[in-house]
Amino acid sequence: MPSAVPIENATSVLQEGSPHRSRRVSLRVLNRNIGRVVLGNLAFDTWYYSPYPDNIVLGPDTSTAKYTPGSAADLRQATAHADGAGQPQCERLYVCPCCFLYTPKEHDFAQHLAIHRTRREQGLETQPLPESAVKVYEWEGHAVWEIDGEREKLYCQNLSLFGKLFLEQKSVFFDTSGFKYYVLTYTKPEPSIPVTKGRGRKRSSSVLEDDVLYQSQVLGFFSKENLSWDGNNLACILVFPPFQHRQLGQLLMSVSYKLSGWEWEGGVIGGPEKPLSAMGRKSYLRFWSERLARFFMGQSADADAKKVFHQRKKTIHPRREEMTVKEIGERTGMLGEDVVAALNEMGILKVVPSKRKNRTSSEMNGNNAHGEAEAEQEMATMVINRSKVVEWAAEHNVNLTSPVREEGFLGEWALSDVDESGVSDAEDANGNGTLA
């Protein structure tokens, strides 16, 4: 085992808020079949069962298991073991951080990493991704790559199996041909000039910092159906446990909305595949709320709302605008039901009932047999005060700057013309917006 894998001091991720701890006992969930995973230079606990092949997980003598996985047909022989004492059958699984191949043998793992390390040093491999991966976004070291599940079946199968260890509801592992995978990576900046100390000797850096294998790492991914009849822009999403709580999930969600092309003619307004898990719903409610807040303050779902706070100008007559939930969805790329869910979560609505006289259908047809008079139907108008949005953002410690930068998108998603007109409308942080 190379010294670059500090197993004893590795990250342990089974936090108090993890779904493995909080899920209801009444739900029959398959027992975890793997206790811990070693992903390159990190080791952490798993949360859920994943259908890895029996010859890897069970044995009977796991030392005879080979590192190279079998075909897709062999993988389908993985069997669920829901009963038993609840102890994982495989205490530790070693997973390659470059191709997500797996083995229970530490020696095979070290040999496999050495192959990738050599390829990196020779310049034959630059990213922990298949060669066919296409970069769609890059900003400040973070990049999102598109991978075709049909072309790179083995990589996507292995990635799905690994992701299932932390996703309770994921069901696609082997038939990846109908999906595209969008993998998030982070590449460390080029090292600066070494610092010398004492008699001109270099200050020694850690093995991990010098290891070319970990200069670029996979942090998470999301998948998307090539053809979704429901208009879903995302099937499943995961940020690996050691990299969570860094707003990376928000970044992936923003990319998924951008790639749906909702801004352009022929684009699709959609959302994540439902039903959402408890953790997924919580994450998306936060994402949708921040997206709406940026829209209300900057009139753009991906606007930079810093100017709202820096320019505290007030207009004599606060700007008011009336729009429907559908119109808000069309201008943010969100489904109407998601807009309503986010607004309820934010708690910034003020309902103002107004009475409008509507004629009954019988009167419109000239038939008032039941003696129905004009009925007054109350149409509720919901008022959103922009100052309430600012208060909500401050109370929840929200940064209204978009998780993604338009300049970071590449290829067909690259930024074309930037229209700055109307930005001054966002300067009024005390105006009102009306939601019909």
Residue 278 domain-assigned (yes or no): no
Pair 255, 223: CB distance under 8 Å: no
- Which pair of tokens denotes residue 168? 């309770």
Domain interval for residue 316: 284-435
Whether residue 215 is contained in a domain is answered as yes
Both 186 and 290 in a single domain? no
CA distance 73 to 379: 59
pLDDT at 351: 76
DSSP calls for 292-352:
HHHHHHHSSTT--THHHHH-----SS----EE-HHHHHHHHT--HHHHHHHHHHHT-EEEE
Residues 6+ apart with CB under 8 A from 113: 2, 40, 96, 213
pLDDT tens by residue, 213-264: 999 999 999 999 998 888 899 999 999 999 999 999 999 999 999 998 876 7
**Looking at the structure, do residues 237 and 301 belong to the same domain, yes or no?**
no
Same domain, 103 and 231: yes
Domain count along the chain = 2
How many angstroms separate the first and last alpha carbons of the chain? 64
What pLDDT, on the 0 to 100 scale, is given for residue 205? Answer: 43
Distance CA 177, CA 227 (A): 11
Residues 293 and 411 grouped into a single domain: yes
Enzyme catalytic residues: 273
- Asked whether residue 30 falls in the same domain as residue 84, the answer is yes
The string of DSSP codes covering 71-117 is -HHHHTT------SSS--SEEEEEE-TTT--EES-HHHHHHHHHHHH
Summary mean pLDDT of the chain: 76
Question: What integer pLDDT is reported at residue 359 of this predicted model?
Answer: 53
Q: What is the dihedral of CA 272, 237, 56, 47, to 10 degrees?
A: -100
pLDDT of 414:
84
Is residue 239 domain-resident?
A: yes
What pLDDT score does 427 carry? 37
Residue 421 CB coordination number (10 Å): 6
Peptide bond into 275 cis (omega under 30): yes
For residue 264, the SS3 value is: coil
* Residues with pLDDT less than 50, the chain: 1-28, 60, 62-85, 198, 201-208, 303-317, 371-376, 417-436
- Domain membership of residue 10 (yes or no) is no
Same domain, 234 and 288: no
Quote the CA–CA distance of 57 and 71 in Å, as a whole number.
17
350 and 212 housed in the same domain: no
CATH code: domain of residue 145 = 3.40.630.30
